[in-house]
Amino acid sequence: MRVTSTVTINNIAVNHLCDLAREALVATVEALHTEVVQAEVMPRDEGTLQNESTFVDTSLVNYNKVSLVSSTPYARRLYFHPEYNFSRDENIAAGGEWLSPWLKGGMYQDFCPETFRKIYKRLLRERGGGA
């Protein structure tokens, strides 16, 4: 017995789903930024690092990459040195490695995957799964 089949891929629908996924990715990283700020874990004196210098970089979104960037020259030093004596006058939980609770093994490690899933699902409902 010989069986044949033909598969036709709807590229318009696939591209639509990919666009929704990229939109959900951006929204997920924006939600992560909000979570980090609200958790008051970033070192804060005047608020420059937390408010003006930490942002969502979407320049590579077409390659499915979105980053949460802290652009100050001292951000790296503060992040990788949790042994510093961080002031907690402004942010009660300030310290180094402030993103670690949201990384693998952290208390909120499921935040990004779950947030992405919820946002993507909502976008599919609102805008449809096909073209």
Q: Is the pLDDT of residue 8 over 60?
A: yes
CA distance 92 to 96: 13
> pLDDT digits over 37-91, tens only?
999 999 988 878 988 999 999 999 999 999 999 999 899 999 999 899 999 999 9
Q: Is the pLDDT of residue 131 over 80?
A: no
Torsion sign (Cα): 6, 11, 16, 20: positive
**Mean pLDDT within 91-106:** 96
Start-to-end CA distance of the chain, whole Å, equals 37
Instruction: Determine the pLDDT at residue 45.
Output: 83
